[in-house]
Amino acid sequence: MPTIPHLTLNNGVEMPALGFGVFQTPPEETRTAVEAALDAGYRHIDTAAAYGNEREVGEAVAKSGLDVFLETKIWISDYGYDQTLHGFDKSAAKLGVEQIDLLLLHQALPSDFARTREAYRALERLLADGKVRAIGVSNFMVDHLTALLDRATVVPAVNQIEVHPYFAQREVQDFGAEHGILTQAWSPIGGITFYRDSGHTSTLQDPVIGEIARAYGRTPAQVMLRWHLQQGRSAIPKSTNPARIAENLAVTDFALTAEQLAAIDALDTGKRGGPEPDAVTLEAFGRAIPEA
């Protein structure tokens, strides 16, 4: 079983660099997928209140008896100080834990940033109370991070954003690095690009990535995950296929050269696959997160 490197967060907490992602994994498939991931050696799972599968993640982890780093996210509909404290209660109960390892705000609410700040203040409270081991954000752009840091007392440990070879968000990564905020890549192998309507190839068929993969006898997915690890990022590849789940973890026994890393950096199209962070509003994206 591969040994996964750890990253140390800005408050000293250690986190396995590769986590198993379950975005869009239906609840009925989540338990089996998480079991396969734990069998393959993952010890870090990334979920979110909005994914609707926290309970199944918790069940698979509890059944395994393993010590697993659990990361989840508060949805925008639960922003506000008291609401976010209650959001923690809901997520912890569904996950079946007393303490969550890493709790993130899922999105900034640029049109109601005061509410975003209140939600973050609740995360700071949860951290002070020992209910979470680390706190952070997701999909925060530089202006959102700047506005948050203006009042925050705790610097977010993590900013989970879309990062893959076709969309690297360098400026957000650089801002994070300057402030001690670890970038964690969602859609790390570019899954979000597989369905894009443009004529562009998907990252899995990219000729540059393909050539590097052939040179090492590896797959394009493994090359992209190496790229993340060697550039110091956390990444949360998702899959529901046991062979690919294991494949995505078998990335610790080869290394890309500086030229190969640069060749992958050069593939950035600047085109976002996911929703535009500034377009996230309660009106457009709000939906109630069920009680535990």
* 182-186 and 158-162 strand pairing: parallel
Residue closest to ligand A2P when measured from CB atoms? 191
The nearest distance, CB 31 to ligand A2P, in angstroms, is 15
Query: Between the CA of residue 286 and those of 48, 50, 89, 182, what are the distances in Å?
Result: 14, 10, 19, 27
The end-to-end CA distance of the chain, in Å, is 35
Q: In the set 16, 52, 237, 277, which binds ligand A2P (CB under 6 A)? A: 237
Residue type, 167: F
The nearest distance, CB 204 to ligand A2P, in angstroms, is 6
Q: Which is nearer to ligand A2P, 136 or 188 (CB)?
A: 188
Q: Is residue 51 among the annotated active site residues?
A: yes
The nearest distance, CB 180 to ligand A2P, in angstroms, is 26
Task: Select which of 51, 79, 120, 166 is catalytic.
Answer: 51
Residue 18: phi, psi to the nearest 5? -100, 125
Q: Is there binding between residue 248 and ligand A2P (CB under 6 A)?
A: yes
The label of the residue with tokens 């986190």 reads 15
> Between 8 and 37, how does the x/- string for binding to ligand A2P read (CB under 6 A)?
-------------x----------------
Q: Is there binding between residue 221 and ligand A2P (CB under 6 A)?
A: yes
Q: In the set 93, 154, 155, 204, which binds ligand A2P (CB under 6 A)? A: 204
Chain residues 57-76 in contact with ligand A2P, contact rule CB under 6 A: none
Are 106 and 74 in contact by the 8 Å Cβ rule? The answer is: yes
Q: Which residues bind ligand A2P (CB under 6 A)?
A: 21, 187-192, 204, 219, 221, 237-241, 244, 247-248
